[in-house]
């Protein structure tokens, strides 16, 4: 008798998530007999949930807001990249019940960017808005590109300074939140990693009227798929990248960690996901 392989995503309140659609599609495609579930987990139930998933034989789980940082003390091991980022989005549970935290957000963010646009102005700095785990992922990924430097701006300047100090390798510059409009005008790539613009949150206010015409604007928010920021960018004729691809490519890296198979973002999956937004 084959034992079903179980995986899940945990978060709070986790009312909307596309992860089950993505992973169950890949499980079916690659002959993995199992199921991927969504499990709402309140912050005060995080530790007990990790123990429960271990006890019930899950192969692993994804971690989304607000648990990406809070989960670290409850895991047995943390992969170096996740340790550097200070956040975990993927957990593997091995046959002995040992939990290891990984972070595939940076892989997904850069892969989505590279597959969505042929190029962007690399003679200009990139601007990262926000200072959470996704901002660290963006910074680490973009620092590997041949850019003069990466600017980071956050409403709380101290958080941006911490990101620059911990992952910037001397090539990150902190820009005051009040100066974000000017920073945007000098950037070749603008990446929103905040929740501003997500359903239920106010829009991100960034003036793009002075941005270069070859600037690329990337919003990791994907609910809605076309955020107010991307609408604003399109109005100025700028190229845009949605956050849906990042979700898929970070999920692919997680699937590889659990099942040792790298799945593809095929047309069938693309159609299923885009249908959600029609």
pLDDT of residue 3: 82
Residues 6+ positions from 173 with CB-CB distance below 8 Å:
125, 149, 150, 151, 152, 164
Quick one: average pLDDT of 10-27? 94
Same domain, residue pair 114 and 200? yes
Same domain, residue pair 134 and 226? yes
* CA quadruple 247, 278, 233, 206: dihedral sign: negative
With 0-12 / 13-18 / 19 or more C-beta atoms within 10 angstroms meaning exposed / middle / buried, residue 14 is: middle
Quick one: average pLDDT of 198-217? 96
Same domain, residue pair 10 and 75? yes
Same domain, residue pair 176 and 257? no
Same domain, residue pair 58 and 39? yes
Q: By residue range, what is the domain housing residue 225?
A: 106-242
pTM of the model: 0.90
Quick check: bond before 224 cis, omega within 30? yes
CA distance 1 to 3: 6
CA distance 49 to 32: 24
Query: Residue 65 — very low, low, confident or very high, per pLDDT cuts 50/70/90?
Result: confident
Residues of the chain above pLDDT 70, percent: 99
DSSP code for 226 = S
Active-site option among 5, 52, 54, 68: 68
pLDDT of residue 278: 75
- Is 68 assigned a catalytic role? yes
Pairing of the two strands 90-93 and 60-63: antiparallel
Q: φ, ψ for residue 18 (rounded to 5)?
A: -95, -5
The CATH code of the domain that includes 128 is 3.40.50.720
Q: How many domains does the chain have?
A: 2
Residues of the chain above pLDDT 90, percent: 88
Tell me which residue has tokens 């100090």. 165
pLDDT at 1 over 70: no
Pick from 169, 170, 139: which is nearest to 154 by CA? 139
Using CA atoms, how far residue 167 sits from 79, 90, 153, 171, in Å, is 15, 20, 15, 9
């Amino acid at each position: 008798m084959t034992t079903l392989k179980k995986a899940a995503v945990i978060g709070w309140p986790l009312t909307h998530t596309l992860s089950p659609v993505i992973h169950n599609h890949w499980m079916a495609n690659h002959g993995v007999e199992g199921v991927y579930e969504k499990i709402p987990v309140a912050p005060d139930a995080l530790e007990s949930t990790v123990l429960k998933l271990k006890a019930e034989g899950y192969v692993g789980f994804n971690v989304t807001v607000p648990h990406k940082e809070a989960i670290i003390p409850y895991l047995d091991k943390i992969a170096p990249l996740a340790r550097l980022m200070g956040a975990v989005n993927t957990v593997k549970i091995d046959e002995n019940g040992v939990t290891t935290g990984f972070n595939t957000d940076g892989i997904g963010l850069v892969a989505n960017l590279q597959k969505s646009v042929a190029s962007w102005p690399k003679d200009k700095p990139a601007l990262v808005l926000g200072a959470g785990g996704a901002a660290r992922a963006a910074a680490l990924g973009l620092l590997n590109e041949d850019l003069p430097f990466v600017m980071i701006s956050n409403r709380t300047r101290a958080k941006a300074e911490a990101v620059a100090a911990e992952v910037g390798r001397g090539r990150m510059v902190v820009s005051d939140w009040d100066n974000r409009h000017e920073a945007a005008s000098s950037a070749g790539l603008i990446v929103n990693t905040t929740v501003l613009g997500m359903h239920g949150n106010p829009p991100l206010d960034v003036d793009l009227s002075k941005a270069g015409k070859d600037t690329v604007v990337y919003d990791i928010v994907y609910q809605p798929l076309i955020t107010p920021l991307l609408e604003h960018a399109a109005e100025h004729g700028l190229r845009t990248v949605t956050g849906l691809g990042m979700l898929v490519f970070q999920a692919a890296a997680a699937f590889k960690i659990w099942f040792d198979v790298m799945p593809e973002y095929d047309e069938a999956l693309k159609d299923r996901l885009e249908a959600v937004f029609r």
